Structure 1
Amino acid sequence: MYRIQEGKDREKNILLIPAMLDAHFPLLQYAFYSKNYHPIILENEDNITDMGLRYVHNDMCYPSILCIGQMLSALQSGKYDLSRTRLLMPSAGDGCRGSNYTSLLRKALKNAGFPQVKVLSLNVKGVERENQMKLEPGMVWRALFGLFYGDMLMLLLQQVRPYEKVSGTAQACWKHWVRVLSEDLRTGRNLTLRSLKRNFLRIAEDFSKIERTGKTKQRIGIVGELYIKYCHLGNWDMVRFLEEEGCESYTNGLSWYTLYYIDSHLRDSRRLEKAGYRLVGAVLERLQKKMIQALRRFGFYSLEPFSILKEEAKGYVSYSTQTGDGWLIGAEAVGCIKHGCRKVAAVQPFGCLPNHVCGKGIYSSLCKRLPDGLIVSVDVDSSGSRLNVYNRVKMLLDFR
């Protein structure tokens, strides 16, 4: 496994990655290291929307404007050697407009004066093979740990921080574990499945020891499009807003999306590949169940494991809607309502077809069939305002 020396820029290329996964990238970033790539998760936020709108049509979905704007701003900063800089753009490789981001980014680079900067595609569907980022076994293994540790820490932080007696205690615990786990991911030590399961318990126990007020607060589920759901740039700091309004938020883990993707996007693969993906899916779900067991052992909340979540959504969603986040959007909403999170904020980019069909198109039906639940749909767009978004969410909070 490649040994990472984070402070030294000794890899062949600099790999710029747009901010997408707030809770996961502090750990998941180590999965992108190899002798060829020195990854940098971009943190620049100022004026990235305006920058994106200069080079991307405003009818494109909001995540594309933000990602491309953030990358172009980074290149214009002068911080990076352009001769060895590469840009990474993930792609689901399906009918979602997100699969066109790489071509949009290349066009924007040319128009902005950076035609020499190469764009790499991160996908497992064989899209743009000549520009597909090559994954090594060590990178995939590190990604496995980054995925589940990111889920664990996100779920715990969101459930403890709103109730902590001493402000900042939960965040400090989160930072402590990020430091500990980052060291393991850098050095390659303790990256065994036994260590992963043991750490699930240790992390949950640590968070359970934080003194809490004991107050009862509304728990608001957040479902929707991947980028908008997991990135504060896309959802306009929705988690912070909910906590400031005296609520607890629940965002389901990325491992559920990973299993959904294997289940829905990769089942049409060749026979041998399909068998391999099924095996990977089975291993991931076993680990997910261990994570959920650790959470519940110490009194924390989680939706059901993926296969149960999918089964519980039967009859409420159509499994044939598999583009983008597809039926998972509705399934997570159903899971929240059925399991103690009756209010759901459904966030998506304005004009996102999968979310409008698989999300907005069924919310009224779900509320009629699950009368204890309430879903408010929230569109985020470059032409919108935080005030409008927050007001729609306030309707959800104020409804009794």
Structure 2
Amino acid sequence: MDPRPLLIPSLLDDHFPLLRRALASERWEPVLLEAGPGLADRGLRYLHSELCYPAILVAGQVLSALDSGRYDPARCGVLIGQAGDECRGSCLIRLLRRALDRAGYAQVALVSLNVRGIDREDGLPLRPAMVGDALALLRDQTRPFEAVPGAAEALWQTWVDRLSAEEAPAPAAAVERCREMAASFRALETVERRVEKVAVVGELYTKNCRLGNWDLKQYLAAEHCRVAVGGLTWQALYYMDSHALKGPAAQRALYRAAGRWAAGIQRDMVAVLRKAGFETLPPFDQLKREAAPYAPLNVTVADGWLIAAEAAAWAKLGYRKILCVQPFACLPGHVFGKGQYAALQRKLPQARLVSVDYDASTGEGTVLSRVRMLLDEVLP
């Protein structure tokens, strides 16, 4: 029997194309859903307006795809990512089940993608994620200087097509792939331009999903900005590091071992990128050490101390303008993310932090005015 379509709502735009092969199986054929008009309004028909904005968008994407008639509800499934812990989105799979039932799609299967079992072989596929981090960084840091508009994006797509057709590389091969990618981006024709360096920190979905941040990176690129966003690898290592402090002894040991393994590959890839002339966050262990003056390292709820760590590290690299993005109604994000911005600004006087909330009821002008407030400010 042919594999059934597995609908995957937007989340990690720079990674899911590479993870598609890892998510495929004899039963499922992954289908990455696209953005479209009116998704939030469609989601709000079935979910309460006080739920987090990502949950509303996910529901809107899934219902829009099913309503299109392109997929047989009796043969398709929906992949729902769940972080677990304090994230309100952890209950999304139950809420979406109710929404699908009410919309007449009770036969659609829901499949959970969770990182509870993360280790070297299963759970989140870390090696493709690391390559995805490198590839996105190379594109974003080359794009402001490309001589031919769209060249960096086209090269990124070429590498995505090539890598997504391959098996997940072994660690040594992943590092070698990183070296090849860096060389190819360095070979693109570029011109000297004056650009503004802007970093984006904050909640995982909003940082990494065009749908969730209203195409923020494209907007900044059009404004001649060199954009820096922390990669999924750092997020995964943060998760493993924080969970090495929780739960049964065997589980803690598993997270420590997985973290050491992944951190070793990350250090090699960071070294390759820096040698090629690109800027990256420090390797995770160094990032954590340097975060101590900026946030309590025992604050591991939601994105916790990682937000402060990324902001401080990017500021040190010259990204003095920092956008702190959060989705509306992410309660842990607002308390443990947005709640630290004022103190973080006092500790980073050389930088300017601006908080931006994304919400179904917020107009585009409101959001862009806050982004423009940061871009137009002249820092001493």
State the TM-score bracket (shorter-chain normalisation): over 0.9
Counterpart position of 1:158: 140
Once the two structures are TM-superposed, the CA of residue 310 in structure 1 deviates from its matched residue by 1.2
Among residues 2, 6, 29, which one is paired with 1:15 in the alignment? 6
CA contact (8 A) 2:138 2:182 kept: yes
State how 1:130-279 maps to structure 2 within 5 Å: 143-185=125-167, 191-279=169-257
Residues 176-207 of structure 1 show CA distances to partners (whole Å, capped at 9, x for unaligned) of: 2112212213xx6xx22221111111111111
Residues 295-316 of structure 1 show CA distances to partners (whole Å, capped at 9, x for unaligned) of: 1111101011111111111131
Among residues 317, 330, 339, which one is paired with 2:317 in the alignment? 339
Unpaired segments of 5 or more residues in structure 2? none
The residue type equivalent to 1:78 in the other structure is G
Counterpart-to-counterpart distance in 2, 1:115 and 1:200: 44
Residues 115-158 of structure 1 show CA distances to partners (whole Å, capped at 9, x for unaligned) of: 222222222438xxxxxxxx9997659x2332011101100110
Residues 1:219 and 1:340: Cα distance change in structure 2 (over 3 Å): same
Counterpart-to-counterpart distance in 2, 1:31 and 1:93: 21
Once the two structures are TM-superposed, the CA of residue 288 in structure 1 deviates from its matched residue by 1.0
SS at match of 1:120: strand
Segment drifting more, 237-246 vs 263-272: 263-272
Counterpart position of 1:89: 80
Counterpart position of 1:349: 327
Percent pairwise identity: 44
Q: CA RMSD in A?
A: 1.9
Residues 224-254 of structure 1 show CA distances to partners (whole Å, capped at 9, x for unaligned) of: 1111110111001111111111211111110
Q: What TM-score do the two structures reach when normalised by structure 2?
A: 0.94
Q: Does the alignment pair 1:383 with 2:365?
A: no
SS at match of 1:83: coil
Q: What TM-score do the two structures reach when normalised by structure 1?
A: 0.90
Among residues 49, 63, 68, which one is paired with 1:77 in the alignment? 68
Counterpart-to-counterpart distance in 2, 1:136 and 1:117: 29
Once the two structures are TM-superposed, the CA of residue 44 in structure 1 deviates from its matched residue by 4.5
Q: Does the alignment pair 1:49 with 2:31?
A: no
Counterpart-to-counterpart distance in 1, 2:120 and 2:376: 49
Residues 1:136 and 1:353: Cα distance change in structure 2 (over 3 Å): closer
Residues 1:339 and 1:154: Cα distance change in structure 2 (over 3 Å): same
Counterpart-to-counterpart distance in 2, 1:124 and 1:206: 33
Counterpart-to-counterpart distance in 1, 2:363 and 2:281: 31
SS at match of 1:70: helix
CA contact (8 A) 1:32 1:139 kept: no
SS at match of 2:324: strand
SS at match of 1:119: strand
Counterpart-to-counterpart distance in 1, 2:49 and 2:64: 18
Counterpart-to-counterpart distance in 2, 1:156 and 1:105: 36
The residue type equivalent to 2:31 in the other structure is I
Residues 259-294 of structure 1 show CA distances to partners (whole Å, capped at 9, x for unaligned) of: 011111353232223222211111111111111111
Counterpart position of 1:99: 90
CA contact (8 A) 1:329 1:358 kept: no
Once the two structures are TM-superposed, the CA of residue 14 in structure 1 deviates from its matched residue by 2.5
Counterpart-to-counterpart distance in 2, 1:90 and 1:267: 23
Counterpart-to-counterpart distance in 2, 1:125 and 1:206: 36
Counterpart position of 2:295: 317
CA contact (8 A) 1:18 1:71 kept: yes
Counterpart position of 2:352: 374
Residues 1:86 and 1:113: Cα distance change in structure 2 (over 3 Å): same
How many pairs does the alignment contain?
A: 378
Residues 1:154 and 1:380: Cα distance change in structure 2 (over 3 Å): same
Counterpart-to-counterpart distance in 1, 2:120 and 2:341: 41
Counterpart position of 1:3: none
Q: Does the alignment pair 1:300 with 2:278?
A: yes
CA contact (8 A) 1:92 1:324 kept: no
Once the two structures are TM-superposed, the CA of residue 324 in structure 1 deviates from its matched residue by 2.1
Counterpart-to-counterpart distance in 2, 1:231 and 1:177: 20
Residues 67-90 of structure 1 show CA distances to partners (whole Å, capped at 9, x for unaligned) of: 011011111112122222221111
Residues 1:208 and 1:145: Cα distance change in structure 2 (over 3 Å): same
CA contact (8 A) 1:33 1:139 kept: no
Counterpart-to-counterpart distance in 1, 2:246 and 2:123: 22
SS at match of 1:82: coil
